[in-house]
Structure 1
């Protein structure tokens, strides 16, 4: 099954569309999109670093966060945590914008939610430099405690109230930019998502740079610039990296030979596959399979 860039979040309780993920280098609880997993979702997100430090990349810009710092991510923003310290941990709170509106077409939705969630605002780092940022961080820590003790009566109400308080503090202290640069950033995000999705859906086939560029209605040179600026690699390098990632899944979960896997993930020649694999993973596909089999005995 192909893993899409778009994350369709599965809430533990559909009657309360809210989830808190706990991410480490080893796992994500509940199962979700964690470290080194490029994705986007329709929900708003608040991420709090609870241990260590991390780097999150949004629209080609790396943001470093330390313990106790946080970042807000708007809906539909492509992002990836590219680094998390060895024993690091972070929690992500994901919720739909409708939770902030109370009910559809409310004054709150029209005046205080949609103008921000539909704006060119991609993200906002919250380091605690100002008093209002300290208030938000304090609320996030409190929300984490509530999620960990969800058996307490009325905890969903408490989470909802905390979230609305947090949102009001946030929008009271930021100014929406109408600058052309902000519009360009959002457009760049949308184009990149189209091109990356095309690669994810067609990586098993022969893909040309022109085909990738055509998806976003860009020239070949502009396509290459967009990749370099946003994810710091060429379209071809990203394609090869994604093929290697998919080959790792097949090496772990199937009995296909290395030659068969090379063909399945889009390599024309097995030698090219082995060379590319070793360049990225520092070991051969056979060595990788052997190590993984030892680590996860049947």
Structure 2
């Protein structure tokens, strides 16, 4: 089954697969990245809060980060920016593990990359109170400046050198035995990923809780507990919320009628769609459609 939550980053230059995303409450630059959706990706990610406060949810755990703080997320980790407070901004640096492995089958890859990226080490909050973490924050600010400059001769080398320093500083100061999460947390994440992927692929159809649970080989009761523990919601509420999200895209980008859109996103009755939409957006689909598009 294709993993629809497995985000594929779109790099400005595929010959240098590295990107910095700048995110505010209004959106993300460059566009096309669903930062406010649950997702995961093969790339490693360092996120630096540059203004205000955000809340980052990683595998069901909420982390409130203030300006000047950062968080690292390992590859394949389920995460979402659940809240970006007004006048806040953050930047996320995404790059593949090969960027710090130098070349395939290298000693760097075998000894300093794979032991961490293929482990149960999920994330790390980075604060300036700890000396080595302050060094990481300084490197992140320097990387931000470099990405904001126009590309120049040697730019890729400078970014790569800084990133290698960033990675080496982190792995030199953590111990996997104390930083890694229990295996059951990793297993729980994988099960949630399977169920979310199934919902994302089949949201327009009639879905039963039994079907969702079977994807992860769980009982109905265990499926509900997994959602509640990791996502703080029920499978049904998540499904409705996702259908509503897909409907906003159709309301904004198409000329389909409200009734047509209701059917397209999986609602059997248009009144149920309108009531659910109003509950999530405090306005009807018709009112939402009339709003001016945010630039």
TM-score normalised over the length of structure 2: 0.95
Structure 2 unmatched ranges of 5 or more: none
In the alignment, does 2:287 pair up with 1:296?
A: no
In the alignment, does 2:154 pair up with 1:154?
A: yes
Q: Which residue in the other structure is 1:241 paired with?
A: 241
CA drift at 1:203: 0.4
Q: Secondary structure at the match of 1:28?
A: strand
Mapping of 1:1-298 within 5 angstroms?
A: 4-177=4-177, 182-291=182-291, 295-296=292-293
In the alignment, is the contact (CA less than 8 A) between 2:247 and 2:261 conserved in 1?
A: yes
CA drift at 1:249: 1.0
Equivalent-residue separation in structure 2 for 1:77 and 1:152 (angstroms): 33
CA drift at 1:15: 1.3
In the alignment, is the contact (CA less than 8 A) between 1:35 and 1:83 conserved in 2?
A: no
CA drift at 1:127: 1.1
CA drift at 1:221: 0.8
Equivalent-residue separation in structure 1 for 2:106 and 2:224 (angstroms): 43
Q: Secondary structure at the match of 1:81?
A: strand
Deviations 1:140-184 (A, max 9, x none): 000111111143321111111111111111011111138995211
In the alignment, is the contact (CA less than 8 A) between 2:119 and 2:180 conserved in 1?
A: no
* Aligned alpha-carbon RMSD (Å): 1.7
Equivalent-residue separation in structure 2 for 1:287 and 1:150 (angstroms): 42
Equivalent-residue separation in structure 1 for 2:132 and 2:170 (angstroms): 8
TM-score normalised over the length of structure 1: 0.94
Equivalent-residue separation in structure 1 for 2:286 and 2:239 (angstroms): 21
Q: Secondary structure at the match of 2:177?
A: coil
Equivalent-residue separation in structure 1 for 2:9 and 2:163 (angstroms): 18
In the alignment, is the contact (CA less than 8 A) between 1:198 and 1:215 conserved in 2?
A: yes
CA drift at 1:35: 4.4
Structure 1 unmatched ranges of 5 or more: none
In the alignment, is the contact (CA less than 8 A) between 1:25 and 1:35 conserved in 2?
A: no
Equivalent-residue separation in structure 2 for 1:239 and 1:246 (angstroms): 11
